[in-house]
Amino acid sequence: MECNNFCIFTIFKMKTFKAGILFLVFFCLSQVVLSAPPPPPAGMPGCWPPPCIPIDGGISVLIAAGAAYGAKKLYNSRKKPSKIS
């Protein structure tokens, strides 16, 4: 089968069309997925119990990991390599 310039143009046009459709689908999905949730009903708190920000567990683990890493670096910097002559 012989393919001329029209055939190549048609293939290019279809690839561009498919890419455009794919872009629109992902753009619309991102708008739906990343949109904010609706506000809570009037008179109800946003969450229960009121301090709704769970930052204690993650921050304490990060502080402990940072302290352990700093202690290891300090230990390695004070340790002198022994030279055998």
Q: What is the mean pLDDT of residues 24-39?
A: 77
Q: Name the residue ranges covered by the structural domains of the chain.
A: 1-34
More confident residue, 12 or 21: 21
pLDDT tens-digit series, residues 48-67: 666 676 666 678 888 999 99
**Most confident option among 10-19, 40-49, 72-81:** 72-81
Q: What is the mean pLDDT of residues 13-28?
A: 82
Whether a cis peptide bond, with omega within 30° of 0, leads into 37 is no
Please state, in angstroms and as integers, the Cα–Cα distance from residue 21 to each residue in 1, 5, 6, 28, 44, following that order: 30, 24, 22, 11, 42
Q: How confident is the model at residue 18, as a pLDDT?
A: 83
Share of the chain above pLDDT 90, in %: 12
Q: How confident is the model at residue 77, as a pLDDT?
A: 85
